[in-house]
Amino acid sequence: MSRILAIDYGKKRTGIAVTDPLCIIANGLATVSTSELFEFLSQYITKESVGQIVIGKPIQPNGQPSENLARVEQFVNRWRKIHPELPIDYYDERFTSVIAHQAMITGGVKKKTRREDKGLVDEISATIILQDYMKSKGL
């Protein structure tokens, strides 16, 4: 079976999460520099069987597109041209960063770590996007 991979796309850093091969559990995979994301994903899909990519669609709480949406759409269009065999879909990412911060606090991550390791929030946000996507699909 194939994994599902989720992306929390950011201007500087991008969080990535992935399921196990049976698509039961979502786990954080990595946080990479956004400038290296395309290469990272291209290499990852040659090593692992990925059947679906889900990317967070940045929408403001009022339903309007956020400033990051144009960058996300550029990435998605580029991906679809070069890797048409691997579908990439949008999924609403509203409040995932807030939920990720709260999860870190609840999980006992120290304030200093939360401040210094900003990539951890991105990876957790990607995991939340993936969990929500899986739940919406009944997985």
Question: How does DSSP assign 73-109, residue by residue?
Answer: HHHHHHHHHH-TTS-EEEEE-TTHHHHHHHHHHHTT-
CATH architecture type of domain 3-136:
2-Layer Sandwich (3.30)
Encode pLDDT of 48-76 as tens digits.
Answer: 999 999 999 988 888 888 888 999 999 99
User: Which of 61, 33, 58, 43 lies closest to 5 in space, CA to CA?
Assistant: 43
Round the average pLDDT of the chain to a whole number and report it: 87
Element (H, E) at 7: strand 3-8
- Extract the tokens encoding 112: 């200093």
pTM for the structure as a whole: 0.85
